[in-house]
Structures are given as structure tokens and as C-alpha cells.
A = this chain, B = another copy of it.
Amino acid sequence: MFDPVCPSDLSPIRVGDKWAGMIIRCLEHGTRRFSELRIPLRGITAKALTKSLRALERDGLIQRITHLDRARRVEYDLTPLGRSMLEPMATMCAWAEEHWEELLDAREASTPLQRAR
């Protein structure tokens, strides 16, 4: 999941910051713990994950649930609002998949002038 080889950041469409879109997808099928999220988001630092989660929480897209076990446990879940984003996100993903080749071709054909933003 989210392999660095797969350049999904080629898509010009973004949700929130660098990680937000991926986090939402990770929560699609149920709550996940902080450390569980770090696995699919390979290489994310605790700091970056915390920051992204806080922003999503602030925007009402995810919910933070603290369990008061002896071993500390914190879970994250999509709110109804966050869940409502899945549909538009799917639309965007469908577009990206459909035009994947064209995007790649455009990059390859681009001149150094364009590449050197």
C-alpha cells in the first residue's frame, strides 16, 4: 500500500496535506490505532502523522478515541463527515486512473523549461 514506486502523487488532486488522503483511505474500513497507521504509511514519522491527524480532527473529518487501558491505546475513526468524503475521493481517483497514461506521457514530453518550475 502506498508504495513509493507507485507515484500516486503524480495526480494533481490533493486532499489536505501530504498524508491526509492516505490516512482517510486507511480508515475506510474501520478504526485504526496510531501505530497501525504507521505501517501502510511507510516511513511517516510520528511527528508528521500526529500533525496530519490533528488537522483532520480539527476539520471534523476524523475522530480521536482514547482508551484508558493500562497499555495506552488511541484509535482513530472517520466521522460521518469524513466518510462523506470517500465518494468524491473515489471520483477523483477514478479520473486519475483513467488519465494515468496521459499524465505520464505529458510529463515525459515536457520540456526542461516546464520541469524546472
A60 within 8 A of B: yes
A57 within 8 A of B: yes
The interface bits of chain A over 68-93 (1 if a CB of B lies within 8 angstroms of the residue's CB, else 0) are 00000000000001001101100110
Q: Chain A: how many interface residues by the 8 Å CB criterion?
A: 36
Given contact pairs A84-B99, A92-B88, A95-B84, A114 touches B58 in the complex (Cβ within 8 A): yes
**A24-76 interface with B by 8 A CB criterion:** 51, 54-61
A84: nearest chain-B partner, CB-CB: B99
Given contact pairs A13-B15, A15-B13, A16-B12, A81 touches B55 in the complex (Cβ within 8 A): no
A106 within 8 A of B: yes
- Additional 10 contacts, C-beta under 8 A, given A12-B59, A59-B107, A81-B99: A12-B16, A12-B61, A14-B14, A55-B117, A58-B110, A58-B114, A59-B103, A60-B103, A81-B106, A88-B95
